[in-house]
A and B are shown apart, each in its own frame.
Chain A
Amino acid sequence: MAGKALSAIVGSGVSALVRKYDQAADLYAAQAIDRALGDAGLEPAQVDGMLINRSPGARDHEFTLAMQNRMGYRRLRLVAEVDGEGSSAIQMIHYASLAIGAGMASRVVCVFADTPLKPNMKGADAFGMSLPILDFDGWERVSGLYGPVGTFALFASYHMARYGIGVEQLASVAISDRQWAMLNPDAKLRAPMDLQAYLRSPVIASPLRMFDCAYPVNGAAAIVVSSVDALAADQTAGMRKVAYVHGLGQGHSTDPFSQAAADEPSGAQMSARSAYAMAGVDARQIDCREFYEAFSYSNLYALEEYGFCERGQSGALVASGALAPGGSMPTNTGGGHLSCHYLQGMTPIVEAVTQVRGLAGSRQQRAELVLATGIGSFLQHHACVLLSPHRTL
């Protein structure tokens, strides 16, 4: 099957994004779906599948399978909620593509919504929940390890100590993202940022500062995945350019620090190998990288585990400016989670689709092959997708 597209992403939509709680998650989701269908040039009646991904940051009752009823989709052939933590958005594209390949559906809407900001809450508190390391959730919290930020601070500390890098390399990730965001009118943080500005941002959990952390928003994003056959009919009706889905990968490890893990491929490596093999490509052929990077450290991790450099070399790579505009490895070209917005897996996938469709304006890069990734939990759950404007690679 290598070479031939599994499916095509024909539309993407992002709702209004706000920094306060003003409405329920499903209202944002509905707006994102409307925008994605409008972008695709499709009518709601043409949708025959819907996958939803509710962030743990959204209230349970605000965004459920009732979305089908809320949207008035009377007849669907595929409905499910997907939960793979931060890898969920990419996983939705996997399951939509597989269902389409099996003939279960032809046009599947994949929608994510989040409302991490609740009434009377600051952005800094939006992700004050803890990430499980031990198998009894909550032990982290009672140990003082609040928020994913603390866990990722430990990852960053581990990496820095092991490979001898400093905060300047973390800063390079944040600065690179900001430089891309300055080219993206949809990005939330666009003020110029240099090393001094980075160092002025407050430490949250050392070594991570505020500018090492994702920028939480309330909102939603939706992607429309179509069968290639349905696309042929739709395109005659004037549909815009599409992003063909060529490689899917997942990898799920237990803990990344154990002695056993040293001898085994990481979940991210498994994810990369699967997708690259499916598409018949290797990392060197990838033009743009859209990484899930809730924290700056995640980019160092992804560069190494997805095969763009050897382990321990990512710090030098980001410090060289390779990831930034004009660099040899354009990465998080919309500003990423740190400067564009944090819609979990949807932030990287929306930018990947935008680049592949040639709709990225002044930040448009060569985008013959683009990688988007997702990371869930304690570097445990990984998913990726490879997109191209070409139906056959």
Chain B
Amino acid sequence: MLGHPVYSPWRGVQNVEAAKPFVNALRQGRFVLQVCDDCERTATPARLRCEYCRSVRLVWRRAKGSGRIIAVTCYALQYDHEYERKVPYDVVLVQLDNGAMLFGAIDARLDQRDVGRRVKLELERSSKGMPLRFRFDGNKDPQ
């Protein structure tokens, strides 16, 4: 927790090799996920084998970052004072339209009633250091 004067999205990421294609693409403004070349299903990153058909042919492919919020939490306790986001801040768990589940930041104050709303990834912001940042997709229509 100490000795890191500059915030880096790599800090603390332990399995760096597995994360590299994912993070490098984000830095270039692209969002990629692992898709199985045999069964076409999308994996939760980063698998070595497809969890549905056990195929080894998982490839990183550009993916749409749109989906639906399935859970939301708002932090009231600042665990890490060097962390760039200050409480209160929200984290959402999103079920992407391709079935994969991802979590990330969202620049809005949410509550339980926002579960079910459609969101999509905002890539310019995430490429600048924030790992994954969502924003609401479309108007207020929750369903």
| A positions within 8 Å CB-CB of B | 124-125, 128, 133-147, 150, 153-155, 157-158, 160-161, 202-208, 254-255, 257-260
Contacts and interface: CB of A to CB of B under 8 A. Distances in A.
Given A124-B77, A203-B76, A257-B95, A137 B44 contact: no
A300 to B, nearest CB: 14
B44 A254 contact: yes
A144 B105 contact: yes
B44 A255 contact: yes
A205 B77 contact: yes
Interface string B50-62: 0110000000000
Interface string B84-117: 0100010101010001111111000001100110
Interface residues of B, number: 47
A81 B104 CA distance: 35
Listed residue (A134, A141, A260) with the most chain B CB atoms within 10 angstroms of its CB: A134
25 contacts: A125-B79, A128-B1, A134-B45, A135-B15, A136-B14, A136-B18, A136-B45, A136-B46, A139-B131, A141-B12, A142-B13, A143-B103, A144-B89, A146-B75, A147-B79, A155-B71, A158-B70, A202-B77, A204-B77, A205-B73, A205-B76, A257-B101, A258-B99, A258-B101, A260-B52
Nearest to A143: B131
B13 A137 contact: yes
Interface string B1-31: 1000000011111111011001000000000
A22 B106 CA distance: 41
A232 to B, nearest CB: 47
Contacts, number: 129
Contacts of A133: 44, 101, 103
Contacts of A202: 76-77
Contact of A157 (B22, B72, B77, B100): B72
B123 interface: no
B45 A150 contact: no
Nearest to B12: A138
B47 interface: yes
Nearest to B72: A157
A143 B80 contact: no
A145 B13 CA distance: 13
A312 to B, nearest CB: 15
Contact of A154 (B47, B73, B76, B116): B73
Contacts of A158: 70-71, 93, 115
B91 A154 contact: yes
B80 A128 contact: yes
A157 B73 contact: yes
Nearest to B98: A259
Contact of A138 (B14, B22, B85): B14
Contacts of B13: 136-139, 142
A248 B89 CA distance: 42
A151 B140 CA distance: 26
B46 A134 contact: yes
A145 B103 contact: yes
B35 interface: no
Given A143-B104, A204-B77, A160 B99 contact: no
